[in-house]
Amino acid sequence: MLTTYIQNRQQMLEANGNFYTPSGIQVFTKDEIANNLVDMESVISKFESKLPAHVRDNVEMIIVGEFDEFEDRGINAFYKDSALYVSNIQTDNDDLLDDLVHETAHSIEEAYGYEIYADEKIKNEFLKKRFYLYEVLWGMGFKVPREVFLDTEYTKEFDMFLLQDVGYDKLSEIGKGIFISPYAATSLREYFATAFTEFYMYPDSHGYLQKVSPEVYKKLAALHVLDKA
**Residue 67 predicted with pLDDT over 90:** yes
The sign one gets for the Cα dihedral 158, 161, 164, 168 is: negative
Query: CB neighbours (10 Å) of residue 29?
Result: 17
pLDDT digits (tens, 9 = 90+) for 70-126: 988 889 999 999 999 999 999 999 999 999 999 999 999 999 999 999 999 999 999
Span 201-224, average pLDDT: 95
Give the max Cα distance, the chain: 73
26-29/61-65 β-pairing: parallel
Residue 4: which pLDDT band, with cuts at 50, 70 and 90?
very low
Q: Which of 105, 52, 62, 97 is nearest to 82 (CA)?
A: 62
**Residue 8 predicted with pLDDT over 70:** no
Q: What is the mean pLDDT of the chain?
A: 91
**Residue 64 predicted with pLDDT over 50:** yes
Span 7-11, average pLDDT: 43
pLDDT digits (tens, 9 = 90+) for 168-192: 999 999 999 999 999 999 999 999 9
> Can you give the three-state secondary structure of 96-143, one letter per residue?
HHHHHHHHHHHHHHHHHHHHHHCCCHHHHHHHHHHHHHHHHHHHCCCC
Q: Which residues contact 224 (CB under 8 A, 6 or more apart)?
A: 52, 55, 199
Sheet holding 77-80, edge to edge: 18-20, 26-29, 61-65, 83-87, 77-80
Query: Using CA atoms, how far apart are residues 118 and 49, in angstroms rounded to an integer?
Result: 29
The percentage of residues in the chain with a pLDDT greater than 70, rounded to a whole number, is 92
**Residue 227 predicted with pLDDT over 90:** no
